[in-house]
Structure 1
Amino acid sequence: MDTNGLRRRGFLVGALAVAAAACEPTGGNDSPPARGTGLLAVKIDNVGAARPQTGLEDADIVYAEQVEGGLSRLMAVFGSRLPDVVGPVRSARETDLELLAQFEQPTLAYSGAQSGVQALIDAAPLRALPQGKDSRAYFRSSAKPAPHNLFLRPAKLGRTTSGADAKAAAGFRFASRVPAGGQPETERTVRFPSARFTFNWSATQRRWLVSMDGSAAVTADGTRLAAATVVVQYVDVRQSRFHDKFGSVSPLSRTVGSGRAVVLRDGRAYDAAWQRPGAGSGTAFTVDGQPLPFAPGQVWVVFAKE
């Protein structure tokens, strides 16, 4: 069976139930926010040895967050499309739980967690499927060194996890037309203490080409990763109660509340405000009090320190 056939088999049932939510808008009007279920969130490794990652191009949303040592990890949320394989899969953090509460019982795939964080995961409103709980869905690849070689086959998770639109579930609005305002911009870099993300506007692709730590980010087959919209969301990043096995304290990025953001779409940068009133709510982005629509397509959100 070809790749498209495998994908269709993986999400057809869910797509029939929520087809309206899964469709990208094609007109010029703002799409209203919607809620969705049946989403798959996968914690993705993001150091040099883990690249190129597999399956990121199929994510509705890619979140970038800070972890120990100032490094970064990704949370890829899948709904509209489900990849055959995704990874490398790594461990969860406390930041992930507040972030995922907006998605109404998502499935979280991860390699494991610190014992205190695992207790929080067990109490969280999500379906937790770490490597040790559902080993049939995970495998080790000989193409990468451990621990950067754990991959997931989503179709083996035991139930359909695709069909809803994660972007709509997150409260994002979309419109094909370019909003008024903003400033022309062709490049934006966001720096963590030991990592950085750069987004370059490609007028021919009408996408923001992704680079990480100074290198072009590509898919497993060598295609450049590219986002329709990039959100640099400035949040409170503080020390959590937890640490890794080496004793380094884990950062905690707070995504409930309000603050400022820069939204990149269509070669322009918009100074915006974000607001998320509670963990069960999506995040609204506005300019001068009016909703700011994103460009239809994949969204990258980078949580930068305020």
Structure 2
Amino acid sequence: MNRSLRLFLIVTAMAALAIVSILISACASNAQPTPTPTRTPRPAGATPAATAPPAVVVPSPTHTPAPTNTRAASPTVPPTPSAVPSATATATPPARAANANPLTGLPVSDPKVLVRRPLFVAVGNDPEARAVHYGFTEADLVYEYIMEGRAVTRFTLAFLANESERIGPLRSGRLVNFHLTPQYGGALAVSGAQGQINWFLTFKMAAPYLNVDLDDPSQVKYAYNIWGLAPSKDLEYLTRLWTSTDRLRRWLSDKKAEQDPKLVGFTFSETAPAGAPAKSASIPFPAAVTWTYDPTSGRYLRSMGGAAHKDGASGKQLSAANVIIQTVAHEKTEYWEDAISTSIRIVTVGEGPVTILRDGVAIKGTWRAGDTTMPEFFDPAGKPIALKPGNSWFELVAPETAVTIQ
């Protein structure tokens, strides 16, 4: 092949390759390009946000405001005892005469007084009040319980058959009254209450409720004042406010809340059950309580802080036919009664240990009570424990309380 022909073939081949290259480029230009990942530009001055796992929010503890005697807004936690079984009556209702007081077993001259609500009244036990305690002798029942701070106790007196012209000093209500009052179909009278507790007593308690500070602010209709009983003016609030059964019955009448609670009543017997000797009992409350058996009267005499606890009207030492030492749960709450102490929920619903003192003997057993049923007492064999006819004092103690009986 001559030189001219060889050159022609080379040029032709190169031209063909160029045409093929152009065609390939044209086809590639019609395909969708695959973008290369790029970092999103950050605006000038911006700081990248750190990515973190979701936070677990732990609410900070809050301090409930100091007590206010107002109709407080609805609290979020009801005063219901935790893990307490519902109690049901297991004993046959005790038989009694139509004129027998279901709370004391004693006869009354007018049976009509037994078909009305028991009156429950909160009474103070501050040192300034102890010399002027009135109404205790006439009360069918007296409950004593520890207060917040555990520096003093308070009483709730119950009146059904007897009348009392002077009861007090009247003090504020506590959570323990929330259960006690409906258990007897009663009505509760107090001088006031911490805001949240007042809400419970007003709107949730299954019983009529008189807050004298709010419902009788002039304190001339359902209560009255006696001044000058405290050692100083700044302590007058501990001793000035009083009430009577007549005034409280008037309140129930005005409220149209009087009714027959149809009380089942306690079991009573003149004969004491078998029990261990019990000449005295000591309860380590702040003002140490001692009950000493008096064989002459067949009753227990009460001392407090080493001195005889006396009735303000008669000057006589207070006494009881029955002393009922009822062991109940004492639970912490979030309700601030003052700047340093929260209210104690004392649980009288359910069941627990009980020791009953009567006629110089101590009978151990079990108490049972429902939301609206009176407490019942059973011996280890499951038989009802009979009380002695007469008044009863209940000492509500925590499980860890070391009660000494001799």
TM-score by length of 1: 0.83
Match of 1:156 in 2: 247
Aligned positions of 1:188-267 closer than 5 A: 188-192=281-285, 194-220=286-312, 221-267=314-360
Residues 242 and 160 of structure 1, relative CA distance in 2, 3 Å threshold: closer
Write the letter of the residue equivalent to 1:140: N
Secondary structure of 2:373 counterpart: coil
Secondary structure of 2:99 counterpart: helix
Compare relative contact order (CA 8 Å, sep 6+) and give the higher one, 1 or 2. 1
Write the letter of the residue equivalent to 1:155: D
**1:172 aligned onto 2:266:** yes
Match of 1:140 in 2: 225
Distance 2:376 2:259 in 1: 19
Q: Which runs of 5+ in 1 are unaligned?
A: 1-17, 28-34
Distance 1:202 1:274 in 2: 26
Match of 1:86 in 2: 167
1:115 CA displacement? 0.7
1:214 CA displacement? 2.2
1:170 CA displacement? 7.2
Aligned positions of 1:1-306 closer than 5 A: 20-22=99-101, 25=105, 37-52=116-131, 53-70=133-150, 71-104=152-185, 106-123=186-203, 124-132=205-213, 133-134=215-216, 135=219, 136-145=221-230, 146-149=236-239, 150-157=241-248, 158=250, 169=263, 171-179=265-273, 181-192=274-285, 194-220=286-312, 221-276=314-369, 278-288=370-380, 289-306=382-399
Q: Which runs of 5+ in 2 are unaligned?
A: 1-96, 108-113, 231-235, 400-406
Q: How many residues end up aligned between the 2 structures?
A: 276
Distance 1:138 1:170 in 2: 30
Residues 59 and 80 of structure 1, relative CA distance in 2, 3 Å threshold: same
Distance 2:122 2:210 in 1: 11
The answer to whether the Cα contact below 8 Å between 2:332 and 2:345 also exists between their aligned partners in 1 is yes
Match of 1:7 in 2: none
Q: CA RMSD in A?
A: 2.5
Distance 1:39 1:214 in 2: 32
Distance 1:253 1:36 in 2: 29
1:44-87 deviation digits (Å, cap 9, x = unpaired): 10122101300111111000111112120000000010201100
Indicate the structure with greater strand content: 1
Distance 1:65 1:227 in 2: 17
Q: Percent identity?
A: 28
Distance 1:110 1:170 in 2: 26
